[in-house]
Amino acid sequence: MTPVTPALSVRGLGKTYRIGRSGQAPTTAVEALVARLRSPMARSRFTEFDALDGIDLDVPWGEALGIVGRNGAGKSTLLKILTRVTAPTRGRIELHGRMGSLLEVGTGFSGELTGRENIFLNGAILGMTRKEIRASFDEIVDFSGIEKFLDTQVKRYSSGMYVRLAFAVAAHLRTEILAIDEVLAVGDAEFQAKSLAKMRDVAKDGRTVLYVSHQVQTVTALCTSAIFLDRGRLTYAGTVDDTLEVYRRSFEKFAAEQRDPDRRPGSGALRASAVVPGSDVYEPADTKSFTVHVGANASLVGQYFVSCHVNDANGTVIAQCDSRPVGGWYDPAKEQEIRLSLRAPWLKPGRYTVDVFVCQMGVLDAWEGAATFEVLPGSPYPEMTLDEATAHGVVLADYDYEGR
């Protein structure tokens, strides 16, 4: 392990998927045969889609690299290629050590097998030798806290136990490079903290961690540097803070593009024409209101509903305000002005975006970032405190304490 060579280097990496057009790709041998017979000379029709393109990357030893980007930016594809689950279309990757992956907790677990059998099976699948599994067996059992159920079939486990055991096996991989995809969000808070600490230890050992997440908090907690992917391209690499700043700004750019209804997903049978917040700024405890203007389509049969998602600056959905649970169904024959009042929970100071979905059976209009608003710094609570009293948690709760 000479310090000069990076743990892994990537040059000109690209992955192109073929997406079937019109006739779609044949899914049965007979269809393929018929298509070939019908037009033997024609090349199959498809459009190409670059999931990743022109990625150059060097990751030094001991680095915990966070990979951030919007949905569909290619984060998971990159990780899948690096872990050799899927093959690249272009480019070259050199891994200077064994690569282990925690892509999804519990894949390869077999419900019929006992916990003990699954530890050995899963360990082997993840690339451990029998000696390595034996050596870390006690540690794995200890970490998962399921020693009493070691000889019980896994299908009888609670989902919490299942996930803890699965993570414990994966976390004790002794590979030099470790790829993790969104798996830290499992288990209760205590187990999450334990997992995060374990991952940090991995990086401290001089091994290398690649971490994909939508949860910005965990990237901050775990990573020493980060890269930002945008539509399959690596557009920024740097410190965690700078990269996250780029990531947050990308939301604003995206919101501007979404204002054009033709660029939005959804069937388009009905489009929201405007989403107007009652105010641009609110106090944390204010009732936040939004008015959704939806156009009319007389030929659309049946009523529709709307759903507004409120996201914080990290892109985490903190509230789904769906009109169905509160009886909000609307007639598409005439234009509608639908008003949403969000009373609780109280929101922390910061910038928020609202995604608006107009739906029937399917999604008619999906408008991400339809509105933004700001919650002013301020406390809804009666006493002034240090920031740390409200720093944890995603929202501010309305609560009281009573002592006896």
Partner 1 sequence: METVVITPPGRLGLPRWSELWGAREVLYRFGQRDVLLRYRQTAVGVVWVVLQPLAAAGVFSLVFGTVANLPSDGVPYFLFSYAGMLAWNLFNQTVGRAAPSLVSNQALVSKVFFPRLLVPLSTALSVLLDFAVALALGAVLLLVYGVNPGWAVLLLPVWTVLLLGVALGIGLAAASVQVKYRDIGYALPWALQLLLYASPVAYSVQAVEGLSPAVRLLFEANPMTWFLDAFRFSVLGLDAPPAWQVAGMVGVSALVLLAGVLVFQKNERNFADVI
Q: Which is nearer to partner 1, 84 or 324 (CB)?
A: 84
For 194-201, the CB contacts below 8 A with 24+ separation are 194/143, 195/167, 195/171, 196/221, 196/222, 198/143, 198/171, 199/64, 199/171, 200/64
Residues of span 71-110 touching partner 1 by CB under 8 A: 80-99, 101, 103-104, 107-108, 110
Residue 189 zone, left/alpha/beta (φ > 0; ψ -120 to 50; rest): alpha
Q: In the bound complex, what is the minimum distance in angstroms from residue 190's beta carbon to partner 1?
A: 27
Pairwise CA distance, residues 404 & 335, whole Å: 56
Q: Which is nearer to partner 1, 75 or 194 (CB)?
A: 75
Token couple for 49? 């889609």
Residue 22 CB-density burial (10 A; 0-12 exposed, 13-18 middle, 19+ buried): exposed
Answer for which of 6, 116, 120, 221 binds partner 1 (CB under 8 A) is: 120
Residue 113 lies near partner 1 (rule: CB under 8 A): yes
Q: Which is nearer to partner 1, 118 or 250 (CB)?
A: 118
Answer for which of 3, 43, 112, 327 binds partner 1 (CB under 8 A) is: 112
Q: In the bound complex, what is the minimum distance in angstroms from residue 93's beta carbon to partner 1?
A: 4
Residue 308 · residue 276 · CB < 8 Å: no
Q: What is the helix (H) or strand (E) element at residue 160, kind and residue range?
A: helix 159-171
Residue 127 lies near partner 1 (rule: CB under 8 A): yes
Residue 130 lies near partner 1 (rule: CB under 8 A): yes
Enumerate the β-bridge partners of residue 304: 330
Show the binding pattern over residues 155-184: x = contacts partner 1 (CB under 8 A), - = does not. Answer: ---------------------x--------
Q: Which is nearer to partner 1, 120 or 254 (CB)?
A: 120
Residue 43 CB-density burial (10 A; 0-12 exposed, 13-18 middle, 19+ buried): exposed
Q: Which is nearer to partner 1, 125 or 397 (CB)?
A: 125
- Output the CA torsion sign for 391, 395, 396, 402: negative
For 140, other C-beta atoms within 10 Å of its C-beta total 21
Number of residues forming the site for partner 1 (CB under 8 A) = 46
Show the binding pattern over residues 2-41: x = contacts partner 1 (CB under 8 A), - = does not. Answer: ---------------x---------xxxx-x---------
Q: Which is nearer to partner 1, 65 or 119 (CB)?
A: 119
Amino acid at 352: Y
Q: Which is nearer to partner 1, 80 or 288 (CB)?
A: 80
Reduced to 3 states (helix: H, G, I; strand: E, B; else coil), residue 150 is coil
Which residues contribute to the site for partner 1 (CB under 8 A)?
A: 1, 17, 27-30, 32, 80-99, 101, 103-104, 107-108, 110, 112-113, 117, 120-121, 124-130, 176
